[in-house]
Amino acid sequence: MDQLYRLIGKPVGISLRNGKGVSGVLCDVKGNYVYVLDYLYDQQFATFKYGFNEIQNIYHFPSCRSERS
């Protein structure tokens, strides 16, 4: 659980038990829920709430690798 709190404010990928995945910025962890800021379209963002019972795993985004020549 401590590792999860360290991810607040950082980009994460979440695998859900239903086989889908979501990504965004982890905004908060309260009760049995995580709150993720997700990009929708144009300049629109929305915060989504996911219950721990819906989540299979949460991953932090890896660092970008430079592919410069």
- Sign for the CA dihedral angle at 51, 36, 17, 40 comes to positive
15 within some domain: yes
pLDDT at residue 52, rounded to an integer: 96
Global pTM value? 0.86
pLDDT in tens, 1-48: 678 999 999 999 999 999 999 999 999 999 999 999 999 999 999 999
Q: Is residue 54 part of a domain?
A: yes
- Residues contacting 34, CB < 8 A, separation 6+: 4, 14, 26, 28, 49, 50, 52, 55, 58
User: Is 26 part of a structural domain of the chain?
Assistant: yes
pLDDT score recorded for residue 2: 77
Expressed as residue numbers, the domain containing 13 is 2-60
Number of domains in the chain: 1
